[in-house]
Amino acid sequence: MNNLSKNYINGEWVSWSGPTLDVHEAGTGDVIAKVPASGRDEMEQAIAAADAAFADWSESSLDQRIKVLEQLHAGLKERAGEIAETVCREVGMPIKLATGIQAGLPATITKTYLRMLPDFPFSEQCGNSEVQYAPVGVVGCITPWNYPLHQVILKIVPAIAAGCTVVLKPAEIAPQSAYILAEILDGTDLPKGVFNLVSGEGQTVGDTLIKHPAVRMVSFTGSTRTGGLIAHAAADDFKRIALEMGGKSASVILPDANLAAAVKGTVNNCLLNSGQTCTALTRMLVPADLHDEACELAAAAVARMTPGNPLEETTRLGPLASAQQRDKVIDYIKLGIEEGHTLVAGGPEAPEGCDKGYFVKATVFGNVKPGSRLEQEEIFGPVLCVIPYQDEADAIRIANGTQYGLSGAVWSADADRAKKVAGKLRTGQVFVNGGDFNPLAPFGGFGHSGIGREFGKWGLEEFLEVRSLQL
């Protein structure tokens, strides 16, 4: 990548000579790149370019949009190895997982939209009315560092497919894959100004993006605190918003479940990307009489997940993405001890042999009390809370007892019972007995976990306004 010192505005790589932001390697702490700490002027230029490009792109044919997305898909496949290594080094996800997830999912998501678009009803009849679906306008996309390219693709692909123009502000911690994306798009038939990238900090370029009157929608993935600020700012201008935010997801293990399989599935989900996943199953609810056995199984499972160099094929647990995130997680582990929960595995000390980088031990707490900070607050690290419950009603009450509602799981030998309990969880998705993730199904949260949905036709509809012609 030769363009990291630039922004991508109106189809051109625009040089930047101002202050820069350091990008660190998660496994070593070394600085591996520098990107612009752009100012408000650069963001305003990008918004102006997107605004000017909207009139023509909003009238583009479906064939034009599909052709661009086909070219994007080919580019993502071609540069998959580079994407995987880039995100592995920035975020810390082990290379074997990063290849399938951080590089594989963006291409998969793009393909799902390519398959869907030819049959999507951009207009339909309703009695004597023609109902039309029109692009919302200029979209500001603000994306996180934990799945940096995947989260960008979830926004810009349906936005472009809908006929919108886009300004992207990628996460400062992991921005390089967004530059790869811009390079790929620069080689497609996408007209100038339809996609723009400006690197910088949230309080400057992000603030400009969410408050600019030409931006008609903000699509954000990140913390609930930042999402709240965006919602307030967008309200002043009646902007459309799509917010995918935090989670504290519960894995409910019913008494008749295969306990070993349920614990293993929960731990694997909780520790994916070192717990830096908004949907992570970080609360494991078990019948009180099975609590100790569940803790033993969880401890055995995390013992097999020793931290290591994420660039090695055999590593299963990498570091966290930044020193700030590592310190935050360690503080939560110390808090768990202070609150009196049982430390079953792990702890606040640095893992053996991991002197450099941002490593944290996979940690399990037992007898975690509902309502405690450890049980209520999103940690975003490899920390599992095991919570005993008395009966099914108690389990549902505890599962629904946080401000979040992004994901969840239910395990039972009785599939109908599992579905019934899953239907009582106030959350946007529930994995029933380890069901596979479906990229065509809607994804989003209840409560403080978000507004709107991503993936599939629901993700496309977020970027469309509805208009009726009365005939």
Q: With respect to residue 1, please indicate whether it lies within any of the assigned structural domains.
A: no
User: Are 286 and 200 within one domain?
Assistant: no
Long-range pairs, 79-87, Cβ under 8 A, ≥24: 79/180, 79/184, 80/104, 80/107, 82/180, 83/149, 83/177, 83/180, 85/311, 86/176, 86/177, 86/180, 87/148, 87/149, 87/174, 87/177
> Quick check: 184 pLDDT over 90?
yes
Identify the sign of the CA torsion 365, 367, 372, 375: positive
Same domain, 207 and 131: yes
What is the arithmetic mean of pLDDT over 365-374?
A: 98
CB 226 within 8 A of CB 220: yes
Helix (H, G, I), strand (E, B) or coil at 115: helix
**Per-residue DSSP letters for 243-293?**
EE-----EEEE-TTS-HHHHHHHHHHHHHGGGG--TT---EEEEEGGGHHH
Domain assignment present for 114: yes
For the chain, what is the mean pLDDT? 97
How many domains does the chain divide into? 2
Is 211 in the same domain as 118? yes
CA distance 54 to 138: 7
414/456 same-domain check: no
Which CATH number goes with the domain that contains 453?
A: 3.40.605.10
pLDDT tens digits for 74-100? 999 999 999 999 999 999 999 999 999
* Shared-domain flag, residues 453 and 425: no
What are the angstrom distances between the C-alpha of 205 and each of 40, 210, 225?
5, 9, 18
In the predicted structure, residue 128 carries a pLDDT above the cut 90:
yes
Of 47, 223, 68, the closest CA to residue 158 belongs to 68
* Together in a domain, 62 and 190: yes
How does 179-202 read in b/e, with b if 16+ C-beta sit within 10 Å?
bbbbbbbbebebbebbbbbbbbeb
238 and 277 fall within a common domain: no
Q: What percent of the chain has pLDDT over 90?
A: 98
The pLDDT score that the predictor gives to residue 25 is: 97
Q: What is the per-residue pLDDT across 213-232, written as a single tens digit (0 to 9) for each?
A: 999 999 999 999 999 999 99
Residue with tokens 């020193």: 323
pLDDT at 3 over 90: no
Active site residues per annotation: 244, 278
pLDDT band at 306 (very low <50, low <70, confident <90, very high): confident
Domain shared by 239 and 290, yes or no: no
Give the CATH number, domain containing residue 433: 3.40.309.10
Q: In angstroms, rounded to a whole number, what is the distance separating the alpha carbons of residues 425 and 68?
A: 40
State the Cα–Cα distance between residues 92 and 25, nearest whole angstrom: 8
Q: What pLDDT does 147 receive? A: 98
459 inside domain: yes
Position 55 confidence tier, pLDDT thresholds 50, 70, 90 = very high
Q: Do residues 116 and 164 both lie within one domain?
A: yes
Average pLDDT, stretch 27-32?
Answer: 96
- 238 with 255, same domain: the answer is no
Query: pLDDT band for position 365 (50/70/90)?
Result: very high
In this prediction, residue 16 carries a pLDDT of 95
Same domain, yes or no, for 359 and 388?
yes
Residue 353's pLDDT is: 86
Examine residue 185 and state whether it is found in any structural domain, yes or no: yes
Nearest to 305 by CA among 259, 265, 251, 267: 267
Query: In sequence order, what E strands does 260-396 have?
Result: 283-287, 342-345, 363-366, 383-389
Tell me how far apart the alpha carbons of residues 140 and 195 are, in angstroms, rounded to a whole number: 10
Tens digit of pLDDT for each residue in 401-437? 999 999 999 999 999 999 999 999 999 999 999 999 9
In a domain, 443, yes or no: no
pLDDT of 2 strictly over 90: no
Whether residue 453 sits in one domain with residue 389: no
Average pLDDT over residues 253-279: 98
Backbone angles phi, psi at 4, to 5 degrees: -65, -20
- H-helix segments, 4-103: 40-58, 62-78, 80-91, 95-98
Full-model pTM: 0.96
Of 350 and 370, the one with more pLDDT: 370
Per-residue CA distances from 40 to 45, 212, 264, 284 (Å): 9, 10, 48, 45
What percent of the chain lies above the pLDDT cut of 70?
100
Is residue 313 situated within a structural domain?
Answer: yes
Residue 142 inside a domain? The answer is: yes
Domain that residue 283 falls in: 250-438
